[in-house]
Amino acid sequence: MKASRRRFEPAEYLERQTKTRTAMEAAGLELLIVTDPSNIGWLTGFDGWSFYVHQCVVIGNQGELFWFGRGIDAPTAYLTTDLPPSEVLSYPDHYVQTSELHPMEYLATIFKQRQLHTRRIGVEKDNYYFSARAFEALATSLPTAHFQDATCLVNWQRAIKSPQEIIYLQRAGQVIEQVYQRVLEVAEPGMRKNELAAEILHASTWGTAEHYGDYTAIVPLMGMGEEASACHLTWDGTRLEPDQGMFLELAAAHHRYHCPLSRTLYFGKPPAKYRKLEQVIAESIERLLPLFKPGNTCGELAQTFFNYLHHHGYEKNNRCGYSIGMSYPPDWGERTMSLRAEDSSILQAGMCFHFMPGMWFEDWGFEMTESILVTAQGGACLANVPRQILVK
């Protein structure tokens, strides 16, 4: 099979692998077992809904690189990566979801066959896709190996986006514009929340005339009235009500690259508290956009925002943003940089952030956010959606 779904040129994957190997050398690692599907995809192009079973990419500092996963998922590797067939390795299906055997035991036999079983091996310990049992199986099966935590080692290599990655992020931005246009067309009191969610999912998948919408790492989040105080609620079958505010935390994706964007929808005339917060958040975004440039730190941006909020009588006790890029469920963040006062990470051109000044109170909530590209001239928004309460 040819790699008909390859998203980047081979040279870009080689550059990513080289960056990762350099970071491995600095960390004293000879091998790295990569289980995060975003990191697997970034390193090789592998892209399939197979992360519910154990899979990984193994990369070595001396050139080893192979995919390991369930046998029926091997064709996905042929279609989405440039790995030669000899480096697409799979385990039999009787290893799938059983208490008797574990795929990492099978991987250990491959390590022994390839004389890799005594290496210094990095694993992504704090990762959604790497279980305690997976690590136990590896450690028990490879007693002469030295294991080291390498959580986020690859994530950090992904921080600065290539020109092609930026194009994909911008396309996702075009898709989210269409999503909000559809929301404004169809949302109305009496509509069931699941019906609105269906319209959002349809629009985010349909995309634009030029670019399709990929599935997003998080489903549409929404809360109306007092439910808007709970920032991660999803929909149910209740109906949208008049004279109520509703947050919409949505995203669009293209080739797995995400553009999250939140807005607040109001049916009727927004009360003064909504309009006041709308003005404060809109002004804070305008103030911070010029600061999204190389040399500033995440902490400086966050503190500037928190100080501005405090000046206007508001407090926020959680971060106000995070880095974004390529992602798989259950999270569209990169899990590296956060816009919080304690984060001293230095911004560089090509980084992307979801600036997320969401505010949640005892019985209501408000969200108005932007996904922002760091440039030498300051922050560039990935999408153009009216930065205001969406009133119907």
* Mean confidence (pLDDT) of the chain: 97
pLDDT in tens, 231-264: 999 999 999 999 999 999 999 999 999 999 999 9
CA–CA distances in Å: residue 287 to residues 3, 280, 307, 372: 45, 10, 12, 13
Domain-located, residue 2? no
* Residue 1 in this model has a pLDDT that exceeds 90: no
pLDDT band at 311 (very low <50, low <70, confident <90, very high): very high
The alpha carbon torsion through 339, 341, 346, 351 (nearest 10 deg) reads: 0
Contact 73, 107 (CB under 8 A): no
Rounded average pLDDT over 169-181: 98
Domain-located, residue 1? no
Rounded average pLDDT over 341-359: 97
Q: Do 227 and 153 sit in the same domain of this protein?
A: no
In this prediction, residue 229 carries a pLDDT of: 96
Q: Which of 100, 151, 99, 90 is nearest to 125 (CA)?
A: 151
Q: Do 112 and 150 sit in the same domain of this protein?
A: yes
CA dist., res. 265 & res. 358, Å (int): 14
Assigned token pair, 102: 């574990």
CA dist., res. 287 & res. 64, Å (int): 47
Domain-located, residue 320? yes
CA dist., res. 292 & res. 285, Å (int): 11
- Per the structure, the count of domains in the chain is 2
pLDDT in tens, 23-62: 999 999 999 999 999 999 999 999 999 999 999 999 999 8
pLDDT band at 280 (very low <50, low <70, confident <90, very high): very high
Q: Do 67 and 130 sit in the same domain of this protein?
A: yes
Domain-located, residue 5? no
Q: Do 326 and 384 sit in the same domain of this protein?
A: yes
Residue 146 phi, psi (nearest 5): -110, 115
Q: Do 147 and 216 sit in the same domain of this protein?
A: no
In this prediction, residue 4 carries a pLDDT of: 83
Question: Could you tell me the CATH number of the domain that includes residue 208?
Answer: 3.90.230.10
pLDDT band at 285 (very low <50, low <70, confident <90, very high): very high
In this prediction, residue 342 carries a pLDDT of: 97
Other beta carbons within 10 Å of 242: 11
* Residue 302 in this model has a pLDDT that exceeds 80: yes
Angle value at C-alpha 276, between 275 and 279, nearest 5 degrees = 85
Q: Tokens 């064709």 — which residue?
A: 75
Q: Do 285 and 380 sit in the same domain of this protein?
A: yes
Last residue of a domain, one of 130, 157, 184: 157
Rounded average pLDDT over 112-132: 97
Q: Do 205 and 146 sit in the same domain of this protein?
A: no
Q: Do 124 and 213 sit in the same domain of this protein?
A: no
Contact 168, 371 (CB under 8 A): no
Task: Indicate the DSSP class of residue 347.
Answer: P
pLDDT in tens, 363-392: 999 999 999 999 999 999 999 999 999 999
Query: What residues form DSSP beta bridges with 267?
Result: 244
- 274-281 contacts, C-beta under 8 A, 24 or more apart: 274/245, 274/366, 274/389, 275/389, 277/314, 277/359, 277/366, 278/366, 278/368, 278/388, 278/389, 280/308, 280/309, 280/312, 280/314, 281/357, 281/359, 281/366, 281/368
Assigned token pair, 77: 């590797």
In this prediction, residue 324 carries a pLDDT of: 98
Domain range for 151: 10-157
Last residue of a domain, one of 157, 182, 215: 157
Q: State the sign of the Cα–Cα–Cα–Cα dihedral 74, 78, 80, 81.
A: positive
Q: Do 97 and 232 sit in the same domain of this protein?
A: no
